[in-house]
Structure 1
């Protein structure tokens, strides 16, 4: 059950100016994605005004709808799904029926973008491969997301975020040296892949402005994961060096790591010699160490990390975080409290950026919202709308976007295009049925 008292305490999201025109207004997207990477990418498009139609199986919908936490009043709209499907429309369509496929093709014929992340071969079995869709719509941007690419010896492999973390070398770089490497708790490879997808789609749209032609766009989870290993990959390729697990310390800068005050842990990152000097002279009041001819050089500090950490740990333990935080900020030393997720979401920093708000939901009244991090002054993001119930927009899409009449809708319904749901109702009514 959602904590409605906690949710209702969040500030209400402030809409953009009524005169603002979203950057992607008029862009039409057919969304065949599920789980995380694909839906996050299409949500980014929807946030800036694209008309994103999420096609999913009738009744159950995207499997990600059922990931925790799930409220019994909206059983197919768990927290995870609400996080990744804002501002979309849902069309409940049985893709295994000829009638359902006919509807999908009608949508594709008038779309600007198609995005899919099925297993390799699924779109071909539906006769919705790129070549077929390009004949329906030569201007179509067709974005495929896979684990290891759509061609080659690994095209058949399924991929999930932790597998990409493991196989890219990312896990081997994270954790402590005396134990196995650890995965990131957050789905960082999925999130990074979604950002790559959004960039790729926008690049293809810019190219289409020049020549009026669509194209196929491909993004692979594994490719993105390799990029996410950072400059360690180039260090290895140029020298053979294998990045080691360093816990919370840095192999490149010192002193960088987690330290503990009287009451709270925090992180310091001394990225260069000047930051080190400001830290020891202005914060720790140790000018002797700040200007030591040996320790004032980065490479020498790496060799003397244990000594510096001992000095810092002893000093920081004498006062609470409230004492050290303003000193570190005044000295312009990059630092921050190690917070829980809850502390971060409720922080003054998050509040000052308007990152966490609440938005209306037709069943719950209000649900939380995490703001899109992209800020555009002239063409801002649209006012956020909660992720839809399964098939919530089916009838509106059929009537208003495909311009089907009652006879055509009844034919499709009888042919099983919408699964076993025999009555189509508007969005609000579907939300009530779901509840």
Structure 2
């Protein structure tokens, strides 16, 4: 995950080497009275298990900032109804239950209200756990231990908290259980504690279904970490020129899939780059990993596939900003996920605090120079992609001249076509018998013939 803010959280559990920092909201929790149901009533139509393409709110978002910037950002978000995800604790939300049975949902209320006011479909990721559920002191929040899992004797308490959340927000019908197996790595066995995660998942699943049988619940939100080609340690049969997915991740997925109490969708996450931050064979072909992972998941289950987080990353220094390249990589990543069978995806970290985030979805709402909240190209791409290729789209084969196939990525249905030039120079490609001129790294929308 990427984010900016304070303070930095502890390193990820287990063998996963984080590409960027995880951040929690380090503030003192205020204890309020027992929860009351929010004003918005239950959804009238049955919820859908596939939501399309949207975003996850993180440390900073369009709920805090200057009034003008907030209006600008919310207008941009409201331009199309997108699925919007928010975590229960951390990443913009305070500790919801610092003392057993005493709740503070003020920060989460604010985020859910933002999603409602911008017309989004709200999703809550049920992570992370209050300190007293993981051996800490009631009333105290140690944000450096955000990623610690609840102790087994408190799995029922976490499930009860999840049920309280579902009761408080009856219009939220989609829930992801936990995040990236945080705290569930068994150092002694050198593998994921998939038994522990599955036990927690099953209790939360049953609690949410007891609140409303139509609530939709999914997991396991595993990070599909991969190793470069040639690395045999933990290598698996899920491999390609981009590398191979860590076998321990696949073992965890299979166990959860066999022993889960139920699920309405599958949630995974991952990056196009390997664990040692390589993009192989190159930045664009590395995105084929998303397609391969999706097809593997489709072999395990017919449930809808969500990418709870996805990272399409270029090589080189983060300070070397290339907006055309970044834009082309994001489009190529979306195409790769869809070709793997995904129907839902969430872009991580829509804004930072300083306004220097070239990959954010909008300029920081804390800016007062008139640019705060202004939509960035990636938000335009996600909105257009969600509009042209919603869940249920029937994609068709696109004929590209053999000489051009390595230069372009194409996705099309009966009405729209997305073409991405993967070269840093102009390309003239023959696509379905017509000539398409593309500037270097250009992302171009066309009408299907």
Higher strand share: 2
TM-score over 0.5 for the pair: no
Higher helix residue share: 1
Q: Indicate the TM-score class for this superposition, using the shorter chain for normalisation.
A: under 0.3
Q: What TM-score comes out, normalization by structure 1 length?
A: 0.27
TM-score (norm 2): 0.26
Give the structure, 1 or 2, with the largest relative contact order (CA under 8 Å, sep 6 or more): 1
